[in-house]
């Protein structure tokens, strides 16, 4: 208390000035119509701006739940699409052996561990065998492919992502239909490499590359990326750099695609191979 008193006495000039000046300004803004109006207009614009900032911030807090809801919704829509149009792709075999419940089942999952800096990166997701996940199922996100499931435990699954030197998928240039293996060269986390495209095919920067559906893991038609650049290798075949459409550094929600008739297909194909 004594300290406070001493402080007030020591600074009485400034304190008195602030008191009198604020009283004057109060008079100014409350008793003059023009100044009053201008002041209210100004303070309202500031208050509105702050209020809208706060509401933006509040939106962020609910973002997690919004995201969950959107993912659920997405899954529902995917499943509806798959079951309404069984075997929308050209693979007639699948359709024959598939009942009415749809060729594919989409299982939503969330990434709980992810690396992009290594040569052999892995992603862990929070769904496992309890949710009907098995090895060698395709994993996609809303922007494109992610990878395929590698090893499955009861509640978790390790995904082998496109950013792994072991990853390989059959990619197709959407415009011309030519296809070839797509893999990662381990250098740039944004680029995959598509090889074995013959030299007479016309390529343009920005052409879309999608999964071809061959190889059995990825269904046909999922976005891999766009052509970044290309060059002839050995004179006959193009080596094409594909800019990944999925940003692996920001992956969060993914969908695992369960292919109902995959075992059947595999056993049939293996039968032929073994002969």
* Kind plus residue range of the DSSP H or E element containing 201: none
Q: Which tokens sit at 57?
A: 């911030």
Most distant CA atoms of the chain, gap in Å: 103
What sign does the CA torsion over 197, 199, 201, 203 have? Answer: positive
Q: Least separation, in Å, of the C-beta of 16 and other proteins?
A: 5
Residue closer to other proteins by CB (options 17, 85) is 17
Q: Which stretch binds other proteins (CB under 8 A): 33-41, 55-63, 124-132, 172-180?
A: 33-41
Residue closer to other proteins by CB (options 36, 199) is 36
Pair 106, 256: CB distance under 8 Å: yes
Pair 197, 238: CB distance under 8 Å: yes
| 46 binds other proteins, rule: CB under 8 A | no
Pair 199, 232: CB distance under 8 Å: yes
Q: Least separation, in Å, of the C-beta of 3 and other proteins?
A: 21
Residues in the chain, overall count? 275
Q: Which stretch binds other proteins (CB under 8 A): 24-32, 95-103, 179-187, 214-222?
A: 24-32
| 231 binds other proteins, rule: CB under 8 A | no
| 64 binds other proteins, rule: CB under 8 A | no
Q: Going by C-beta distance under 8 Å and a sequence separation of 6 or more, which residues neighbour residue 26? A: none
Total chain residues near other proteins (CB under 8 A): 20
Q: What CA–CA distances, in Å, run from 130 to 78, 107, 176? A: 20, 11, 41
| 24 binds other proteins, rule: CB under 8 A | yes
Pair 127, 109: CB distance under 8 Å: yes
Pair 256, 79: CB distance under 8 Å: no
Residue closer to other proteins by CB (options 18, 232) is 18
Distance CA 162, CA 183 (A): 7
| 38 binds other proteins, rule: CB under 8 A | yes
| 27 binds other proteins, rule: CB under 8 A | yes
| 39 binds other proteins, rule: CB under 8 A | yes
Residue closer to other proteins by CB (options 18, 47) is 18
Q: Which stretch binds other proteins (CB under 8 A): 30-38, 45-53, 69-77, 223-231?
A: 30-38
Q: Least separation, in Å, of the C-beta of 2 and other proteins?
A: 21
| 25 binds other proteins, rule: CB under 8 A | yes
| 8 binds other proteins, rule: CB under 8 A | no
Q: Which stretch binds other proteins (CB under 8 A): 20-28, 46-54, 83-91, 170-178?
A: 20-28
At which residue do the structure tokens 């100044």 appear?
A: 35
User: Residue 10 phi/psi, 5° resolution?
Assistant: -65, -35
C-alpha triplet 43, 47, 48: angle, nearest 5°: 115
Residue closer to other proteins by CB (options 32, 204) is 32
Q: Which stretch binds other proteins (CB under 8 A): 12-20, 179-187, 238-246, 257-265?
A: 12-20
Interface residues toward other proteins, by CB under 8 A? 12-13, 16-17, 20-21, 23-32, 34-35, 38-39
């Amino acid at each position: 208390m004594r300290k406070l008193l001493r402080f007030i006495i020591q600074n009485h000039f400034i304190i008195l000035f602030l008191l009198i000046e604020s009283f004057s300004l109060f008079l100014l803004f409350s008793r003059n119509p023009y100044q009053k109006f201008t002041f209210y207009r100004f303070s309202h614009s500031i208050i509105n701006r702050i209020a809208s900032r706060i509401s933006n911030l509040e939106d962020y807090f609910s973002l997690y739940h919004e995201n969950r809801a959107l993912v659920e919704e997405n899954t529902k829509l995917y499943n509806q699409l798959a079951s309404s149009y069984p075997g929308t792709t050209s693979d007639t075999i699948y359709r024959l052996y598939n009942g009415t419940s749809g060729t594919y089942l989409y299982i939503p999952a969330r990434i709980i561990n992810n690396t992009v800096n290594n040569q052999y990166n892995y992603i862990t997701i929070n769904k496992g065998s309890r949710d009907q996940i098995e090895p060698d199922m395709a994993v996609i996100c809303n922007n494109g492919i992610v990878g395929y499931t590698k090893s499955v435990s009861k509640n978790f699954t390790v995904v082998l992502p496109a950013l792994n030197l072991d990853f390989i998928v059959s990619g197709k240039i959407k415009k011309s239909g030519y296809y070839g293996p797509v893999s990662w060269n381990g250098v740039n986390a944004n680029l995959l490499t598509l090889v074995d495209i013959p030299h007479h095919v016309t390529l343009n920067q920005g052409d879309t590359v999608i999964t071809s559906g061959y190889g059995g893991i990825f269904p046909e038609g999922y976005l891999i990326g766009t052509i970044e650049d290309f060059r002839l290798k050995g004179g006959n075949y193009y080596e094409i750099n594909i800019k990944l459409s999925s940003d692996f550094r920001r992956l969060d929600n993914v969908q695992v695609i369960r292919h109902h008739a995959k075992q059947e297909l595999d056993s049939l194909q293996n039968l032929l191979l073994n002969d």
